[in-house]
Structure 1
Amino acid sequence: MTTTSTVQNGILYVRLAGDLIGSPDTDQLLESVNQHLGESLNYCAVDLSEVRYINSTGIGVLVSLLTKFRSRGGELVLINPAEHPKKMLALTKLTNIFTVASDEAAARQQLIPAAQ
């Protein structure tokens, strides 16, 4: 799995590609986000459009990230989950917990009102 992250307008954008199934991939993702949390960022958008497969460990990491941001008074939005992650989120009923946006612009619209 590859993880890239950028910060724009106070929002951390994380783009994932490949399979989100456990160490070392999940460790890399958590480390990347934790580095940015030190920058006082409270809002995050995670792009799942290139994630082919996700298992319970990957789902657990997403829930952990959501908890981190919400406990800071922030929010996390998932962007355009690919077919398998979308099925897993529905199967685990996490679509009721996560905000899902169709693209980066929609995610930004979800997060910017929260930031004000």
Structure 2
Amino acid sequence: MKFNSKVKDGILTIQVDGDLIGQEAGLDLIEHINDHISSGITNSAMDISNLRYMNSSGIGVLITSLTKFRNAGGELVLIKPSESVKKLLIITKLNSIFTIVDTEEEAIMELKNK
């Protein structure tokens, strides 16, 4: 798994690519999120459209990320999950916990309206 990020208008946007499997895969991402929360960034849009596969550890990384942002008084919005990831979110009923949108613009609007 690889990720890139940028901060614009106080919102951290993260692009995740590859497979999110195993604890190690998500540790760098969680550390990256912690660094931004420590610097005052409390809202994030995570583009998972290029995330091919995710297992239970990957789900844990998403839940941990969401929890960290919410505990900081912010929110995490997921952008355009792939079909396989979308099915996994539905099966685990996490689609009712996460805000899921189709575009980065929608995510930014959602976060600005919180």
Q: Using structure 2 for the length normalisation, give the TM-score.
A: 0.96
Aligned 1:1-116 pairs, distance under 5 A: 1-114=1-114
CA distance in 2, matches of 1:78, 1:46: 5
Aligned-pair CA distance for 1:24: 2.5
Gap runs ≥5 in structure 1:
none
CA distance in 2, matches of 1:72, 1:35: 12
CA distance in 2, matches of 1:25, 1:64: 13
Aligned-pair CA distance for 1:94: 0.4
RMSD of aligned Cα (Å):
0.8
Q: Using structure 1 for the length normalisation, give the TM-score.
A: 0.95
Aligned residues: 114
Aligned-pair CA distance for 1:67: 0.7
% of aligned pairs identical?
46
Whichever residue aligns with residue 78 of structure 1, its letter is L
CA distance in 1, matches of 2:101, 2:23: 27
CA distance in 2, matches of 1:23, 1:77: 21
Aligned-pair CA distance for 1:87: 0.8
CA distance in 2, matches of 1:38, 1:71: 12
CA distance in 1, matches of 2:8, 2:101: 17
Q: Which runs of 4+ in 1 moved over 2 A?
A: none
Aligned-pair CA distance for 1:90: 0.4
CA distance in 2, matches of 1:28, 1:22: 12
Whichever residue aligns with residue 25 of structure 1, its letter is A
Aligned-pair CA distance for 1:23: 3.5
CA-to-aligned-CA distance 1:57-105 (integer Å, 9 cap, x gap):
0011101111111111111100000111111100100010000010100
